[in-house]
Homo-oligomer: A and B are copies of this chain.
């Protein structure tokens, strides 16, 4: 996997790069739509490629391990072939879902024992077997197994948790080295910086992660309830100690303005369920601000959803029609809103990239954030 930086902003930490994977190139900064079980909710592959301009999607190891399971994925030749998604895939390690979804989880040195949220069956995730599962999924980018401590966490807990994550990371690195890809193409491990909200821990974790010399690095444990300013400070700190010549991935972030601010801090990759989840609830992110489309005020607004971006769906359906579909409980409402929101996120990172290359990113970002945050 290769990462080439084309441009660095002189007034911020923002960078424009190209990440080359076995399934194609990714122009950074990039947003990765979340495709939990190998499907971005309510969006077809065609729409992802043609309307949204997705370059890479994310799969959740926890979900894919439970359903359809590694046997089916192996029989298909991996998730790309199973789902028909031909472009890059990143999988998380399953750690986050074990903590947020599974029942009766117990953390041990070996790994985490938990019960499936689907049928209550018992499972053990270890650094080694989550690498094996991600090998079976065939992800282009594999995430290390980590513990994501809640916010707030006490210093003692945060430190112990980080140290466990580091020991697990070493085991992941070892197991990656000891195993081969199953489908003949390269897979790369990204380790994850933890350390909760403590600056010394964040620094220590970023330095340890950097020392692993992986193809890319991630920042975890943020956007879990802490104030936005704290997230920015900790992301900035993490970026500072992560190598500049490797892509930096901030996990689970966030709103459009969160993404712009973190691009300014040196982050290259993002994922978040917000555009799809909020979209399904009728919240739209647009080039003019935030819309609650269920609001009565849109009932006879026959202007299109967002003419500020080059997405067919956003330029075709009107606000009044989309509101009607939401009020009537039509599935098409969720489809349109999900396509629009994802297209908007991809538009936004593509715009950011252009401004980084053009050299006016910082000024553009300041002006844009104010517009995007407006409630319409």
Contact = CB atoms under 8 A, between A and B. Distances in A.
A44 B313 contact: yes
B46 A324 contact: no
A40 B333 CA distance: 11
A38 B328 CA distance: 10
Contacts of A335: 42, 44, 331, 335
A334 B332 contact: no
A334 B42 CA distance: 9
Given A300-B72, A316-B45, A335-B335, A67 B321 contact: no
B332 A44 contact: yes
Interface string A277-317: 00000000000000000000001101000000000110011
Contacts of A317: 84
Given A72-B324, A76-B300, A84-B317, 5 more contacts: A38-B324, A42-B331, A44-B335, A45-B316, A82-B302
User: Shortest 6 CB-CB distances between A and B: which pairs?
Assistant: A42-B331, A39-B332, A68-B324, A37-B328, A39-B330, A75-B300
7 contacts: A37-B324, A38-B321, A42-B331, A42-B335, A45-B316, A82-B324, A84-B318
A83 interface: yes
Nearest to A339: B44
A43 interface: yes
A75 to B, nearest CB: 5
A321 B75 CA distance: 12
Specify the main secondary structure of chain A where it touches its partner: helix
A320 interface: yes
A303 to B, nearest CB: 12
Interface in A19-71: 37-46, 63, 67-68
Given A313-B44, A316-B45, A317-B84, A328 B72 contact: no
Contacts of A112: none
Interface in A316-371: 316-318, 320-321, 324-325, 327-328, 330-336
Nearest to A51: B46
A317 B38 CA distance: 12
B72 A320 contact: yes
Given A39-B325, A46-B312, A335-B44, A76 B330 contact: no
Contacts of A332: 39-44
